[in-house]
Amino acid sequence: MSKITIDTDTSRAHPNPAPGKRMTVPKIRSMKRGPGIAMEPLVMLTAYTTRMAQLLDKHCDMLLVGDSLGNVIYGLDSTVPVSLDMMIAHGAAVVRGSWHAQVTVDMPFGSYEQSPEQAFASAARILKETGASAVKLEGGEAMAETIHFLNSRGIPVIGHVGLTPQAINVLGSYRARGRDDAEADKVMRDAKAVADAGAFCLVIEGVMEEIASDITKAVPIPTIGIGASADCDGQVLVTEDMLGLFERVPRFVKKYHDLADQISDAVETYANEVRSNCFPREDQLYRAKK
């Protein structure tokens, strides 16, 4: 077999990371906060590309290859059209770009709902072809059997309750869940069912704050909030939202930067320099040595 040598001075794909040990599923599972338990909240962000994974990795406990890539990367109106092949391609890219964070890949709509056997086939493909260590799927009580099936066959699962974007055609809107007692009870039942089925972690999205707080106290696994509660055992945001790459974001997003404006300014400067023949200059050109 031929040996490939990578020029690390110019390679974008393979910078030299500091050596380290990747976060494991059991380690994440153990990071449940509670009375008398001094534990820092878990940090999770989404990642869809190798370069973004490289930039996020050392700061995060977990990287989520979310099906939100349908909206963020592909400009889709919802996550429903996202395919298993899309998730695998981006999941593999994120694993290649990380060495510290635990990587979880979303199971896209239609890849797991039919039966536990269908879910296993899809999840096994994800883990084999990406190198990720877990999958995430949406749904509560209805998915409990599937979560148990996967977990008992060696596939770690993160659950997802509350606002479940893959069900947008049933829900009708992205409004917060749990606004009445019946809906609040349903979210709580879903959360307990997911935990009882063997999920090692639980994303709670878009629910009334007190419900997320109650769920976090009620389940023995770490909860990751997004539009939920500061009481959750961790938090997740879509990276492009928190970096300010989009003008419109959900109300639960805090913009930590305004990269959209910075990118626009940089491109404007580049365009002006090209049109005025100021770029490229001598130090950007190759010349024959004299």
Q: Which residues of 18-27 are buried (b: 16+ CB within 10 A; e: fewer)?
A: eeeeebebee
| Whole-angstrom distance, CA of residue 226 vs CA of residue 238 | 9
Catalytic residue flag (residue 205) = yes
Q: Which of 141, 205, 209, 247 is catalytic?
A: 205
Nearest to 170 by CA among 186, 191, 181: 186
Residue type, 273: E
Residue type, 229: S
Nearest to 25 by CA among 213, 147, 153, 151: 151
161 within 8 A of 199, measured Cβ to Cβ: no
198 within 8 A of 152, measured Cβ to Cβ: yes
Question: SS3 of 43, please?
Answer: strand
Q: Among all residues, which ones are annotated catalytic?
A: 205
